[in-house]
Copies of this chain bind each other. A is one copy, B any other.
Amino acid sequence: MKPISGKIVERLARYRTFLTEQAPGHRTHLFSHEIAAAMRTADSQVRRDLMAIGTQGVPRHGYEVEALMEKLDLALSLDRTHAVAVVGAGHLGRALISFLEASRSTLCIKAAFDTDPAKCNRVHAGVKCHPMDSLEAVIAREAITLAILCVPAAAAQGAADQLVHAGVKGILNFAPVALRVPVNVALEEIVITTYLEKLAYFTTHPSKERRNGRHEER
């Protein structure tokens, strides 16, 4: 299949989450406008995105939910398990472990890491925390390809370098710092204050246009 752009991948992942939310067996078919309404986007956008993974709805019935889920899983490589590490087992790291372990997902947290000896060799929500100096060995042993970075800003670049060196191919960064990673490593950043600051702006600058930024056509 042709590679898909980051923006389309993100929307497809959101459609998939929406379908996963639907009660199983509740509806066998859904129309593009129903998916679009829930995502606050346009029908045509949904149809174009699903066309990109070779899926088309049927007039008068729409998309068959089960077949669509299978196509999305295949397109997003979620038909297989991805081993994930959490680096930084503080409040946020442990919260993300609990949160992700509770979600129905093929993203599987295999290990946590921390510099604090008091946190190491303990198990949180079924996930063992290891010292940072065993990072490379554990990542190789568990075939971990993705990492979530929840360390303080000052420690983030060092931890990212260690992860890249250990062979991790994708990093989700929660530290409020701009990381440098090689071009063959995928990077996503969630800077929570940025989202709040954006909301703060829109609460103090009322406007008539729809301002739910994450759902703008882009």
Mark A residues whose CB is within 8 Å of B.
3-7, 9-10, 13-14, 16-18, 21, 38-40, 76-78, 80, 82, 84, 90-92, 94-96, 98-100, 103, 105, 107, 145-146, 148, 153, 169-172, 176-178, 181, 183-184, 186-207, 210-214, 216, 218
Which chain B residue lies CB-closest to A169? B203
* Cβ–Cβ contact B98 & A91, under 8 A: yes
Interchain residue pairs with CB less than 8 A apart (13): A6-B202, A13-B194, A13-B197, A77-B201, A90-B95, A91-B99, A100-B196, A171-B199, A172-B196, A186-B199, A186-B211, A187-B212, A218-B218
Which chain B residue lies CB-closest to A183? B210
In whole angstroms, what is the CA distance A190 to B3 when docked? 25
Which chain B residue lies CB-closest to A195? B188
In whole angstroms, what is the CA distance A77 to B206 when docked? 12
Which chain B residue lies CB-closest to A178? B38
A198-B10 CB under 8 A given contacts A18-B178, A92-B95, A99-B192:
yes
* Cβ–Cβ contact A94 & B95, under 8 A: yes
* Cβ–Cβ contact B172 & A199, under 8 A: yes
A212-B188 CB under 8 A given contacts A95-B94, A178-B38:
yes
A170-B6 CB under 8 A given contacts A91-B95, A188-B195:
no
Contacts of A197 in B (CB 8 A): 9, 13, 16, 76, 78, 107
Name the residue in A39, A191, A197 with the highest tally of chain B Cβ atoms < 10 Å from its Cβ. A197
Q: Of the candidates B76, B100, B195, B201, which one forms a contact with A200 in the assembled complex, judged by CB atoms under 8 Å apart?
A: B76
Contacts of A3 in B (CB 8 A): 205, 207
- Within the complex, the shortest CB–CB distance from A22 to chain B, in Å, comes to 11
